[in-house]
Amino acid sequence: MEIRPHRIINRRKTKKIKVGNIFVGGDSPISVQSMTNTITSDEISTTKQINELQEAGADIVRVSCPDEESTKALKNIVKSTNVPIVADIHFHYKRAIESAKSGASCLRINPGNIGSKDRVQEVIKAAKDHGCAIRIGVNAGSLEKKILEKYKEPCPEALVESATHNIKLLEDNDFFNFKISVKSSDVFLSVKAYESLSNLYDYPLHLGITEAGGLFTGSIKSSIGIGRLLMQGIGDTIRVSLSADPIEEVKAGFEILNALGIRSRGVQIISCPSCARQAFPVIDTVKILEKKLSHIKKPMTLSIIGCVVNGPGEAAQTDIGLTGGGDGNNLLYLSGIPHNKVVGKDIINQVVDLVESKAKEINN
């Protein structure tokens, strides 16, 4: 679908860093991330989930490394996967060093929680030696004690001060291959923190609303927070944090980017909520099509409208369109041009055939 002038977002210019084979920041595409929820020391399950996430579109995958068993397993996991792996580290600096040696592409740490400056320097040296990027991960739920005592509670200023302190720790050690996140479960707090940080630094920003909740509520909260920031041109990589299958995080991430015309993947279905005018069961049709077309990776738009009120207009703006007109008079469109009439029982098969044919054309 062509990007219309009113949908163009002027993205803020940030430094470009490299996470494995993926660039983050600058003019590189906004990447979508997720995180495994397996026990990392279970190499088979973790590798399987990482590969599933990559198949779903994840550009970068994070794994938790809370113990030495996990960092040892990481070596084989990295060898068995093709997507950049971020090692999630909290408190124990040795886990960060072990993860770097095991082939992690990035270390997610909060330098202020790692310990003494000597320990921070050891982690930075390991990152330099093994070509690791670093993500400074500031979280409202784990702010440094001094900062929390100063501000009494998590607030945008507290998150930014924590980020500033940690940025200086890396800069003072001549390390600049890093990105930053300042997350909270509070949408307003997160947005304000990211806005303030964006005005202070040009390092790439990892966007997210942390601990956002389940699939439904978490997707809505994340869409509001991440979407608002992206519309201002803020953000270089995103993760939708959900208490759900991690694959749903990837799907939600791409839906946010898709809705803003930033980046597309797969079939975007534009459909009506249905009403008494519908000439075929719109809701059931969309549910079936979502499943049957989930394997399509090339970006494409498909409108499924139950009647002629908005159907022709939507079909004119999508790659493939279906407008309800009564049994035998439902009309399929290709690139906005009427293609053929279709009876209700044949809708699913004909739409799937058209989409798959279109996908082959795009591939060629």
Do the beta carbons of residue 177 and residue 135 sit within 8 Å? no
The CA–CA distances, whole Å, from 26 to 14, 16, 30, 206 equal: 5, 5, 10, 13
Q: Are residues 220 and 102 in the same domain?
A: yes
- Cβ density class 64-100: b for 16+ within 10 Å, e for less: bbbeeebbbbbbebbeebebbbbbbbbebbebbbbbb
Q: Name the residue range of residue 148's domain.
A: 5-259
Sequence-distant (6+) residues with CB within 8 A of 40 are: 46, 63, 64, 65, 66, 69, 70, 73, 74, 77
Strand partners, 337: 334
The total of structural domains in the chain comes to: 2
Q: Are residues 189 and 308 in the same domain?
A: no
User: CB atoms < 10 A from the CB of 18, how many?
Assistant: 16
Q: Are residues 235 and 351 in the same domain?
A: no
| Tokens linked to 203 | 């390092």
Confidence (pLDDT) at 234: 98
Give this prediction's pTM: 0.91
Q: Domain boundary at 228, 259, 290, which?
A: 259
| Tokens linked to 22 | 């993926």
Q: How far does the chain reach from its first CA to its final CA, in angstroms? A: 18
Confidence (pLDDT) at 112: 66
Q: Are residues 254 and 278 in the same domain?
A: no
Q: Are residues 78 and 105 in the same domain?
A: yes
Beta strands in 36-118 (DSSP E): 60-64, 85-88, 106-109
Q: How is residue 8 annotated by DSSP?
A: -
DSSP letter string over 11-27?
A: PPP---EEETTEEESTT
Q: Domain boundary at 259, 287, 320, which?
A: 259
Q: Are residues 47 and 98 in the same domain?
A: yes
- Cβ density class 288-310: b for 16+ within 10 Å, e for less: ebeebbeebeebbbbbbbbbbee
| Residues 310-362 pLDDT 10s | 999 999 999 999 999 977 789 999 999 999 999 999 999 999 999 999 888 87
Q: Are residues 72 and 166 in the same domain?
A: yes
Q: Domain boundary at 202, 231, 259, which?
A: 259
d(CA 213, CA 228): 19
Q: Which helix (H) or strand (E) holds 272?
A: none
| Tokens linked to 227 | 């979407």
Q: Residues of the chain whose pLDDT is less than 70?
A: 1-7, 111-112, 363-364
Q: Are residues 203 and 293 in the same domain?
A: no
d(CA 265, CA 263): 7
Which domain CATH number covers 299? 3.30.413.10
Q: Are residues 219 and 271 in the same domain?
A: no
Q: Are residues 244 and 283 in the same domain?
A: no
Q: Are residues 227 and 356 in the same domain?
A: no
CA max distance for the chain: 75
Confidence (pLDDT) at 2: 47
Confidence (pLDDT) at 90: 83
HEC string for 113-142: HHCCHHHHHHHHHHHHHCCCEEEEEEEHHH
Phi, psi dihedral angles at 280 (to 5 degrees): -155, 160
Confidence (pLDDT) at 155: 96
Q: Are residues 147 and 202 in the same domain?
A: yes
Which domain CATH number covers 193? 3.20.20.20
- Residue 115, class by beta-carbon neighbours within 10 Å (0-12 exposed, 13-18 middle, 19+ buried)? middle
